Every structure is written in C-alpha cells, then in structure tokens.
Structure 1
Amino acid sequence: MASDPDVPDAFDVYTVVVLRRPPDAPDITDDALIELQARHLAYRADLRRRGVLVVNGPFDLRSDPSYRGMSIFACSPDEAARLSDGDPSVAAGRLAYDVLEWWVAAGSLAFPLAAGQVGDRRSMPDD
C-alpha cells in the first residue's frame, strides 16, 4: 500500500496530562489554598528532578476556564496517572486530570532539558 503523503512515516508519542478544575472542587480558605499550591508546585518540581516529568506549566488564555495546566511525562500513561494521583492538589480534589497519548510527526519536538528519552517512536498502525 502506498503511503499517504499527508501522514508522517513515523511519530513520536508522548504522554500528556491535562489538569483541570473539577466542577465539584472543594472550597478552601485562601491560606489553605496558598499552602496547597506550594505543595503542588513542590511535588511537580520533584517529578522534574526525578526525570519523569519533562515539562509542565499553567494555561493562560483558554476557551474553558476549568483547564488549568499541562504536563508531558517520560513514562507510560498508566504511570503518569499514578503519579498524578499523588499530586497534593489532585488528592485534595482541587484538580482532576486527563491522560492522553499525543502523536506528533517524528522529530517535531525536542526537550533539551530532559535527562533521557522522551516518548516512543512509532509508525501509524495499518487498518
């Protein structure tokens, strides 16, 4: 079968976690929120130091205000979900998350600060 010129021959597949504010997020005091945010940021910084979290950050302009931020992990989707469950803001119910595999044309992205390989190189499966 001839390959489609609009489909790359290879893809780099990344594990992405999108953080969002759930509709039933508990209300907490301003002081508690400041403390929780500090623990959330420290947890994410630890994941980066360990090399499992490659890049992350908050969203600014967004069509849906419930979306809060995004992370790219250097691990499987299952492991990213397990690690996201350990985030203090997720554990407190202030954040929820979605885990996705993101397929981009091979070589489209580089992560120069990553300690190791990020993502898996794959080909589009034949139908």
Structure 2
Amino acid sequence: MKHYLVIAMRRPGFDPAVVAPHLAYLDDLDARGLLAASGPFADGSGGAYVLRGLASLGEAQAVAAADPLALTGSSSLEAREWTLAARGKGQA
C-alpha cells in the first residue's frame, strides 16, 4: 500500500480559527479510511499527516489542496509519496 506524507507549514499571518475546520477535515479523512496518522510539530510551525489508500501522488495532492489550511492560504501544504519503513524495537 502506498503512503503519502502531507507537510503543512504555517505562513505569516496564520489564523488560528482555521484549526477547527482543518481538524474536522482530518476527521473526515479518518472516517473514510484515508488517514494513517497526523499531528502538529512541537515548535508550532505546522504539522503533518500520512494518507493511505490513494491511487497516486496526484490524488494525494488533491486531498492536500482541499484541506482548509490550503484553501484559506494559512499554510503551505506539500504532498510526497512516502515509503513507510517498519522498524524493530529500539531502532530509529
């Protein structure tokens, strides 16, 4: 199964009001079985999420472009195909 990493970086003038619609968007992706993981960066500069079950990078880019963070211009979003590597206990 292919995975896609979406990196969202906050732009100057980021409006915190967009966080709730963004989280609702992620909840919808999760309900549709498309969201594998998500979370903010510890420094508050943005966050990332991992998509699964999509046919192509173009489809992942379309999902990222429909995110309220992108639609409002609050953040720049970039989707990349990502090879998810399983690691044993104690490995990075």
TM normalised by structure 1 equals: 0.57
Q: Determine the C-alpha separation between the residues in 1 that align with 2:49 and 2:14.
A: 25
**Deviation of 1:102 (Å):** 2.0
In the alignment, structure 2 segments of 5+ residues that lack a partner are 88-92
In the alignment, structure 1 segments of 5+ residues that lack a partner are 1-11, 110-127
Instruction: Give the aligned residue type for 1:96.
Output: S
Q: 1:93 aligns with which of 73, 77, 91?
A: 73
**Deviation of 1:104 (Å):** 4.4
Q: Determine the C-alpha separation between the residues in 2 that align with 1:98 and 1:89.
A: 11
In the other structure, the counterpart of 1:16 is 5
* 2:35 is equivalent to residue 53 of structure 1: yes
How many residue pairs match? The answer is: 85
The share of aligned pairs that are identical, in percent, is 31
* Contact 2:7/2:49 (<8 A) preserved: yes
Give per-residue Cα distances to partners, 1:37-56, cap 9 Å, x unaligned. Answer: 11111011101110112111
**Deviation of 1:77 (Å):** 1.7
Q: 2:26 aligns with which of 37, 44, 59?
A: 44
Q: Determine the C-alpha separation between the residues in 2 that align with 1:15 and 1:69.
A: 14
* Contact 1:57/1:69 (<8 A) preserved: yes
Instruction: Give the aligned residue type for 2:30.
Output: R
Q: CA RMSD in A?
A: 2.2
* Contact 1:17/1:99 (<8 A) preserved: yes
- Label 1:102 to 1:27 Cα distance change in 2 as closer, same or farther (>3 A): closer
- Label 1:60 to 1:50 Cα distance change in 2 as closer, same or farther (>3 A): same
Q: Determine the C-alpha separation between the residues in 1 that align with 2:20 and 2:84.
A: 33
In the other structure, the counterpart of 2:51 is 73
Q: Which has the larger radius of gyration?
A: 1
* Contact 1:26/1:93 (<8 A) preserved: no
